[in-house]
């Protein structure tokens, strides 16, 4: 009988897939197809949970099959991340009109990311205080206790890392290892290596123009091939989002959400406030925040469902460059840096809220000036090198809480709602990366304002 219902569920998924294919053939806009996949994925996931129950074998088997489309899509994106980062940054540098622009780009992008992470920390402190969150309010079950214990053990691997140690971790010692993304700072290490290669080509251009020109042609050709692969993969976005959202909703622990509902609400209030601040910053510097919002929605939808900042890099770059009119080099660097630096949700809001919740249990006033200043400063510094995949927030929390002298076990007690909150955090992280690229391009007078204001730019240029 379970086999019958499994086949029914697969048939429903295929029917929705054919609907999305039909919409593509009818030239329905990419944004509308992504949002359709998101909406139908939520409905499909709700149906599975209501009809069978989140813990049923039918749901487990069904979501396992759905993962072919969902997890398969993420794997394809992760496959292209490192080649894309390398090719795009090297290509951007060797095509710069002035090599001095590289430093300015990097400083603006990193500065915006870190400053907004510190602002996000203040928002997190405010939200935790407003909702009167306290670590004593959370009861621990068996799974939560095991998670808390594992985090305490993991703390030993990060608490001894000083700020200089974190900075050194950005420097690659084995680029082939970092190409496998085995370290939390692998993407940044690849960025550093790519910058070195790009600068080397610029130096070669002065000494041996012919060889430099030959290398430039190879890099430009490789970049063109990579971007074509990216376009092909991004055509699968509506289908990937459909599967990811259906699986997420179907497996959501409703009881856990209800039990920790106040923390969930407080988290999303903080995330929404910070997102509004992003839009305000866009508006303050002379750009229409509503036009911006409409164009970045497909990227945010994928980030929300995938919970992977790194996996969103290809779509992030495409939308910045082709839809928002961001300078190519700036788009490449902001998407890459934003995957591991200054993540407003994971490295800003989340650890700040945990610190405020834990502080009273240690006899510390979380609203004291000294505590807040120290917390915001530590979050700004530690926001470097947060892994751009699911779990990066936990890593950030370990660093911040240990630096503040606070116990880290609370992060393990939130296991039942981790996925739900992480969806919103990732979307905010990715939006911060796109905002940093847009504003940097604006500050350096490299933003194509006409393309930014063209509401059909993404459909015409990305050709998906």
The mean per-residue pLDDT over the stretch 168-177 comes to 80
Instruction: Give how many domains the chain has, as a whole number.
Output: 1
Residue 391 has pLDDT above 70, yes or no: no
The C-alpha torsion from 294 through 299 and 304 to 309, rounded to 10°, is -140
Residue 220 has pLDDT above 70, yes or no: yes
Of 96-100, 215-219, 323-327, 367-371, minimum mean pLDDT range: 96-100
Return the pLDDT at 258. Answer: 64
Return the pLDDT at 386. Answer: 61
How far is 197 from 193, CA to CA, in rounded Å? 6
The mean per-residue pLDDT over the stretch 329-355 comes to 87
CA 417 to centroid of chain Cα atoms: 18
How far is 414 from 139, CA to CA, in rounded Å? 10
Instruction: Name the band, by pLDDT with cuts 50, 70 and 90, for residue 155.
Output: very low
Return the pLDDT at 20. Answer: 92
Of 196-205, 281-290, 416-425, minimum mean pLDDT range: 416-425
Residue 394 has pLDDT above 80, yes or no: no
Of 163-172, 220-229, 357-366, 449-458, minimum mean pLDDT range: 163-172
Return left, alpha or beta for 445; rule: phi > 0 is left, psi -120 to 50 is alpha, else beta. Answer: left
How far is 407 from 343, CA to CA, in rounded Å? 22
Return the pLDDT at 349. Answer: 92
Q: List CB contacts of 92: < 8 A, sequence separation 6 or more.
A: 198, 328, 329, 332, 333
**Which is it for the CA torsion 167, 169, 173, 174, positive or negative?**
negative
Q: List CB contacts of 305: < 8 A, sequence separation 6 or more.
A: 38, 41, 240, 241, 244, 245, 248, 423
Helical residues (DSSP H) of 289-368, grouped into ranges: 289-306, 313-322, 328-338, 350-358
Q: To the nearest whole percent, how much of the chain has pLDDT over 70? A: 83
Return the pLDDT at 461. Answer: 47
Q: Which pLDDT tens digit goes with each residue over 244-277? A: 888 888 887 666 666 677 888 999 999 999 999 9
If you average pLDDT over each of 177-181, 220-224, 435-439, which comes out highest?
Answer: 435-439
The mean per-residue pLDDT over the stretch 85-113 comes to 80
Q: To the nearest whole percent, how much of the chain has pLDDT over 90? A: 23
Range of the domain at 129: 2-462
The C-alpha torsion from 71 through 388 and 337 to 296, rounded to 10°, is 50
The mean per-residue pLDDT over the stretch 168-191 comes to 77
Higher pLDDT, 96 or 437: 437
Exposed, middle or buried, 446 (CB in 10 Å: 0-12/13-18/19+)? middle
How far is 404 from 385, CA to CA, in rounded Å? 18
Return the pLDDT at 305. Answer: 84
Instruction: Name the band, by pLDDT with cuts 50, 70 and 90, for residue 195.
Output: confident
Higher pLDDT, 282 or 93: 282
Element (H, E) at 457: helix 457-462
Q: Which pLDDT tens digit goes with each residue over 36-65? A: 988 899 899 889 988 888 778 888 889 899
Helical residues (DSSP H) of 383-443, grouped into ranges: 392-403, 410-413, 418-443
Return the pLDDT at 419. Answer: 74
Task: Name the 3-class secondary structure at 341.
Answer: strand
- Write the CATH number for 423: 1.10.3860.10
Q: What are phi and psi of 308, to 5 degrees?
A: -135, 110
Q: Which pLDDT tens digit goes with each residue over 441-452? A: 999 999 999 899
Instruction: Name the band, by pLDDT with cuts 50, 70 and 90, for residue 145.
Output: very low
């Amino acid at each position: 009988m379970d086999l019958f219902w499994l086949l029914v569920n697969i048939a429903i998924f295929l029917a929705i897939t054919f609907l999305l294919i039909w919409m593509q053939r009818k030239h329905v806009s990419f944004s509308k197809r992504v949002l359709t996949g998101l909406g139908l994925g939520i409905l499909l996931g709700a149906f599975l949970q209501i009809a069978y129950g989140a813990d049923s074998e039918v749901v487990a088997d069904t979501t396992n099959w759905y993962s072919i489309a969902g997890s398969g899509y993420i794997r394809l994106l992760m496959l292209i991340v490192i080649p894309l980062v390398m090719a795009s940054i090297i290509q951007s540098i060797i095509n710069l009109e002035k090599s001095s622009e590289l430093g300015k780009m990097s400083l603006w992008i990193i500065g915006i990311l870190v400053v907004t992470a510190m602002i996000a920390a203040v928002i997190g402190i405010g939200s935790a205080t407003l909702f009167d969150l306290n670590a004593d309010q959370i009861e621990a079950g068996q799974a939560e206790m095991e998670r808390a214990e594992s985090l305490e053990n993991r703390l030993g691997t990060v608490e001894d890392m000083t700020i200089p140690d974190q900075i050194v971790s950005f420097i690659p010692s084995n680029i082939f290892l970092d190409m496998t993304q085995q370290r939390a700072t692998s993407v940044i290490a690849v960025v550093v290596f790519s910058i070195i290669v790009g600068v080397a080509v610029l130096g070669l251009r002065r000494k041996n123009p012919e060889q430099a020109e030959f290398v430039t042609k190879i890099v430009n050709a490789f970049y063109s091939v990579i971007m074509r692969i990216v376009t092909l993969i991004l055509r699968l976005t509506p289908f990937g989002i459909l599967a990811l959202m259906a699986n997420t909703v179907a497996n959501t622990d409703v009881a856990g959400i209800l039990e920790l509902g106040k923390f969930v609400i407080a988290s999303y209030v903080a995330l929404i406030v910070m997102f509004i601040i992003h839009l305000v910053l866009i508006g303050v510097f002379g750009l229409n925040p509503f036009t911006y919002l409409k164009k970045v929605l497909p990227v945010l939808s994928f980030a929300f469902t995938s919970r992977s900042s790194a996996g969103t890099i290809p779509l992030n770059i495409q939308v910045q460059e082709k839809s928002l009119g961001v300078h190519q080099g700036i788009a490449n660097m902001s998407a890459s840096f934003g995957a591991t630096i200054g993540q407003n949700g994971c490295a800003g809001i989340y650890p700040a809220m945990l610190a405020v919740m834990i502080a009273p249990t240690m006899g510390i006033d979380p609203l004291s000036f000294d505590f807040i200043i120290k917390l915001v400063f530590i979050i700004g510094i530690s926001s470097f090198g947060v892994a751009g995949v699911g779990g990066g927030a936990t890593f950030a929390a370990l660093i911040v809480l240990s630096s503040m002298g606070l116990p880290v076990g609370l992060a393990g007690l939130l296991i039942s709602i981790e996925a739900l909150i992480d969806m919103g955090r990732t979307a905010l992280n990715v939006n911060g990366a796109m905002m940093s690229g847009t504003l940097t391009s604006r500050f350096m007078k490299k933003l194509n304002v006409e393309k930014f204001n063209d509401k059909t730019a993404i459909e015409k240029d990305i050709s998906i």
